[in-house]
Structure formats: C-alpha cells, structure tokens
Amino acid sequence: MVLSTVKRKTSTPLNGTEHEVNIDEEDGFILRDRLLPLIICLLRTDKVPAVLRMYRDTLITVMKASIKSTVAEMLPVLISKPIDSDSVTGDRAADSDAGGQSLANKLRSLSSEGFVQLLSAIFSIVQVHLQQAAEVKKIVQWIMRNLDGNISPDDTNPVVQHGGSVDLSQEKDYDVTSRVSNTVTRTPTKLPLFQGKTNDMSSINSIKNIRADVLRESTEAVFAACDAAHGRWAKLLGVRAALHPKLRLQEFLIIYNITEEFIAATEKVGGRLGYNIRGILQQQSKQFVEYQHSVRMAKIKAVLDQETWIAVDVPEEFQAIVLSLSSTDFPVNGMEMPSNDNNSKLSEDGVSTSQESAHSTENNVENSNGTSTTSNENKVESTSQTENSVAGHVRPVSQTIVLGGVGYHMVNCGLILLKMLSEYVDISKCLPSLSFEVVQRVVEILKHFNTRTCQLVLGAGAMQVSGLKSITSKHLALASQIISFIHSLIPDIRRVLFLKIPEARKHLLMSELDRVTQDYKVHRDEIHTKLVQIMRERLLANLRKLPQIVESWNGLDDNDSQPSLFAKAVTKEVTYLHRILSQILLEVDLQAIFRKPSVEHQTYITLKQLEH
C-alpha cells in the first residue's frame, strides 16, 4: 500500500498542495481490520511493546532506504549523465550514504533547480511513510481505548506528549459496528483476555501499564520515523552547505521555503519538532547573509576606489527603488516571495532581484560613467549601449534622483550603494528571522561608504587611487550630494528594516543607525566647510594685492570708472565657484556656503580701509 501510494504521488506535479498526503478512508479501514486481530493476539502474549519496537526500527530502515533509492533514481536524470549502480548498492552504497565523495560530489553538481526537484520528490516519499505510520499509531490507540472502556492516551501515558511533540490532528471516530469484527464490537467494555482479572487492583494496574507501554511505543515509532526523515533532509542540506550561500536570493528562498514546508508538514504528521533541521537551516541562512554581505563589501570598496566623481544620469529603476523604500505598498525591486507553484522556475524577465539585478544595474551605471576596469574580480564592467534597453526601448534616465521632493545629483558609487541597500531590504523581508543581522550589515556598509568617501575626497585619496589630478570644488559638491542623499534615505531604510525586528532588540540598532546618521551629517558639514575654506583662501590671496590698489586710489587720476583688479579677481572667482556649485548643490546649501565668505569679504575690506 505504501509503495502504490508513493508511485501515485510521485507521478504528479510537486507543488504546495501536492505535498499534502492523506491515506484514503477505505485504506484506513482495511488497515485497521488487518491490524486488529494481530494486536489482540500480541496482547494475549504480551508482545505488543516488543513488536512495536521492531516496527519502529523497520520504519527507520524503510524511511532511509526510500530516500536513498529516490536519490539514486533521480540523480542520473537531474545531472544528465548515467550513475554507476555500484555507487548506490552494496558496500559502496553504505559508503556513499555515510558521506562518500562520489554521491556528495554528484549532489553538489546539481543545479539549484535540480536540487529543489530532488527535495520535492523526497518530500512526497517522506509524507507517505509518515502518514501511514501516524495511521498505524491512531489505530493502535483506538484499539487500546476500546479494550478498557475508553481510556485515552493522555490519561494513561504522559510520555505521548514528551520529546517536543506537537498537537496532532483530531483522530477520526471510526464506525465500530460496521468495520470491526463482531467479537470486539459486541463486547460492552472489555475484551475476554482481561476477564477474570478486573476485580484485582494489581491486575488493573498491570493492564494500564501494558497500555501505557503500547501507547508509548506506538508514539515513539512515529517520532523515530520523523527524526530519520529530518536527519536525511538535514544531511542533504549539509552536503551543499558551501553552495547555498552563493545562490541568488530567489534561488536560496526556494530551498529555504520548501525546507520550512517540509518541517511544518512532518511536525504536523509525525509530532516531533525538527530542532536539528531548523538549526541547520538557520545556520545556512546566516551564512547566506554573511556571504552576500562580504560580496557587497568587496564590490563597494572596489567601486569607490575606481570612482572618478563625475555626475551620471539616473536610470528609472533607481528612482523606483527610492519610491519603494519610502512606501509600504509594494516590495523593493518589485520582488515577490517565491511560491511553491514555481519552485523549479526562476524569474528571467524584467529586472531580476539580488546579485543578477545588481550586476546588470552596475554595468549600466558604469557604462554611463564611461569607465571600466579589469584589475580584479570585483570590477564594474562597462557594457554596450544595447544593455541599457529593454525590448528595444531605451530606459528613461534623469539627471537627478528625487527623494522627499528634493533632487540629488549622483555618481556611480552612490547608485550602486542604493542598489545594494535595496538588496539588503529584500533579504530582510524574505528572511525576517535574520533582520537583526541584516541591519548590522547595513550599518557596516554605510559606515565604510562614509569613511572611504571622506578619505577619497576630503582627504584627496582619489588622486592616488583614481588618478585624479586634483580635488576640485565640483568633486566636493558631488560628494556632498551623495552624502546628503544617503543621510536623507537612512530614515526610510530604518523604517523598512525594523518592521521584523523585535522591540527588545530595536534600541541597540536604533542607536547604531543614529550614530551613522550623525556621521553623515558631520561629513556633509565638513565638505561645506572645505568649500568655504577654498573661497577664504582665494580672498586672502587677493587681499595681498589690496595695499597697492589702495595706493592707486590716492593718485591724482580719480576718473577711472573701471573696477579695480582686486574687484575683478574676487568677482571672477566667486562667480565661477557659484556657477559650478549652483549646478549641483541644493539652494539651501548654496546659500549657507556663500553667506559666510560674503561676510568675511566685507569684514576684510572694511578693516583694510580703516588701516589706511
């Protein structure tokens, strides 16, 4: 019956609904009728607990063998090459099952899609075996209740609830009169095997002990089968532990979701919480987050070192990211949680999520910047103009990115950081249990971006790493725009990332983000101070010529209507600086920067006049 059910289930498509396996009611009645006389005979010989222990061992063996045979049958198909029969039979099968390189390498060679198909097939096999084991358990419990007037397992055997068991589904109330042999159904309270002993209290206690043993062993058998299934699944995940962190987010989520579904389904049927498999899944999720973060840190470091601080156009998709971060109506990047209906199909159209989308986007940004490198594996490669089009249409671009009604000019590294931040948000939404870890990584990458930008622009480090001849006021203005944009974006990032974080853990992260926000503000103010310093230095340079100019004012020829050389020089330099900065900076920043030098100009000139 098990084999026929397995074949029937594995021949159908595997999705969220097909994983739900139930034994037909008719099959349940047949199984009960077959077990009833056997259990009664075993009760008379006091062999039921021993037989159930043998049954438990058999369940474990059958569960492992079924999973092994499923892997052996599907691997040749999934990797598109024949598999040596010796590797799955006899002594070599045992070696492979113990983690031998042959089988392990074949499992690692599977694509993510192929591995999910293998897991789906194993899911169905396990469901069938666990469902029948649970059915046998319910039948045994039903028989034992009817042997003594209606004693429930909960009253006589607290062990049923031990070992982390979960609430099982309600048992069916079997139709006794239509399905059980006449001898049993016509017995009012007890079967003949207990007659003559009912007045003996010690005999009654002995009977209850027997029932407790039977109920415990029947429950332990299902627990053992569930543990065996969890162990095999955990082993499959462990074999590919080095591969899963490197998957795209959507690929990893499909494996994550089918594992979560497997755990929930087996816990419901088998009654055993999957602590081990949950631990492995959580560990691989943390490794995924850590690997993705390390990749992005390496990328942003390389991009910053390659940055030439030239303004770039903003593709429409980056504006969409900003809108999504400031709204809760739709997900970042347009990403939807992958459903089980398309476990074997990954998104290939539009702007894909995570690394694939980041790679394409960064190429487009780098192309518009007109630079490319080939020095290391974290480079941002330039692409052809055709990569900036979708379905033959050029993607709309803008000169600024709008946040809160304010337009900001962007450079290449700023757009890439924005894309990375959106990917962190995606990871946090899809793996809410790791939201705390994601926020910590966001804080780290924001700190590095701010610190490194300060070193490259204010510290003139870009002259060494990017080959700039000098750090101009335009470079400073663009850096100010990027820092101001990120400073304004942090509150939206914090709001989105904190949605899944427990209140008890928010305080620490909020203080961290507040410090980062303050650091960005200080950095922006330092850039503006540097611009003021540039204007002050030019003023002082021109003031050195002022004494000679003042002497000429005392000359006899006072009819010269032309501005003095001092006035011309100061006006020219201030006008040039204003023209450059007004094209980039916000009006409020522009006024703040020019207000202080203007006052200083008047003060210096007045003092010079007083001296003469």
pLDDT value of position 279: 93
Between 188 and 51, the more confident residue is 51
- According to the model, what pLDDT value does residue 573 have? 83
Binned at pLDDT 50, 70 and 90, residue 575 comes out as confident
pLDDT at 377 over 80: no
Confidence of residue 371 (pLDDT cuts 50, 70, 90): very low
Question: What does each C-alpha distance from 116 to 72, 74, 251, 263, 314 come to in angstroms?
Answer: 15, 12, 9, 15, 38
| Average predicted confidence (pLDDT) for the chain | 75
What pLDDT band is residue 553 in, cutting at 50, 70 and 90? low
Are the C-beta atoms of residues 516 and 489 closer than 8 Å to each other? no
Structure tokens given for 344: 């074997």
CA distance 187 to 185: 6
Q: Count other C-beta atoms under 10 Å from residue 69's C-beta.
A: 14
pLDDT band at 541 (very low <50, low <70, confident <90, very high): confident
Burial class (CB in 10 A: 0-12, 13-18, 19+), 230: buried
Q: What pLDDT is stored for residue 504 in this prediction?
A: 84
State the Cα angle at 32 between 30 and 38, rounded to 5°.
Answer: 115
Provide the CB-side half-sphere exposure for 224 (13 A, CA): 19
Tens-place pLDDT, residues 154-165: 444 333 343 333
Residue 448 tokens read as 């590095």
pLDDT of residue 144: 80
pLDDT at 95 over 70: no
pLDDT at 343 > cutoff 70: no
pTM, full prediction: 0.74
**pLDDT exceeds 80 at position 251:** yes
What 3-state DSSP class applies to 397? strand
pLDDT class of 179 with cuts at 50, 70, 90? very low
Residue 193 has pLDDT above 60, yes or no: no
Which pair of tokens denotes residue 562? 């032309």
Lowest mean pLDDT among 237-251, 363-377, 453-467, 575-589: 363-377
Q: Is the pLDDT of residue 441 over 80?
A: yes
Low-confidence winner among 29-38, 110-119, 412-421 (lowest mean pLDDT): 29-38
**Residue 120 banded pLDDT, cuts 50, 70, 90:** very high
What would you report as the CA-atom Rg of the chain, rounded to the nearest whole angstrom? 37
- Sign of the CA dihedral with 203 first, then 206, 208, and 210 last: negative
Q: Which residue has the higher pLDDT, 191 or 230?
A: 230
pLDDT category, 294, cuts 50, 70, 90? very high
Q: Has residue 608 got a pLDDT over 80?
A: no
Q: In this model, does residue 22 exceed pLDDT 70? A: no
pLDDT (tens digit, 9 = 90+) per residue, 476-530? 999 999 999 999 999 999 999 998 888 888 888 999 999 999 999 999 999 999 9
User: Hey, which of 5-9, 139-143, 370-374, 604-608 has the most confident mean pLDDT?
Assistant: 139-143
Weakest-pLDDT range from 46-50, 126-130, 435-439:
46-50
- Per-residue model confidence (pLDDT) at position 354: 39
Q: Does 335 have pLDDT greater than 60? A: no
Taking the C-alpha atoms of residue 230 and residue 223, their distance in angstroms, rounded to an integer, is 10
Q: Is the pLDDT of residue 444 over 90?
A: yes
Residues sharing a CB contact under 8 Å with residue 179, sequence separation 6 or more, in sequence order: 29, 32, 33
Phi, psi of 174 (to 5 degrees): -70, 145
Query: What per-residue confidence (pLDDT) applies to 396?
Result: 75
Cα end-to-end span (Å), the chain: 113
Looking at residue 574, its pLDDT comes to 82
Please report the pLDDT score of residue 79 as a whole number.
82
Percent of the chain topping pLDDT 70: 65
More confident residue, 570 or 438: 438
CA 467 to CA 305: how far, in whole Å?
10
Residue with tokens 């974080």: 501
What average pLDDT does range 277-302 have in this prediction?
Answer: 96
User: What average pLDDT does range 95-110 have in this prediction?
Assistant: 69
CB 413 within 8 A of CB 466: no
Give residue 237's pLDDT.
Answer: 95
Asked if pLDDT for residue 419 goes beyond 90, the answer is yes
The predicted model gives 540-565 an average pLDDT of: 66
Q: Alpha-carbon distance 456 to 88, whole Å?
A: 59
Sign, CA dihedral 504-506-509-511, equals negative
Kindly state the average pLDDT of the residues 166-187: 40
Any idea where the domains of the chain sit in the sequence?
2-273, 283-532, 536-611
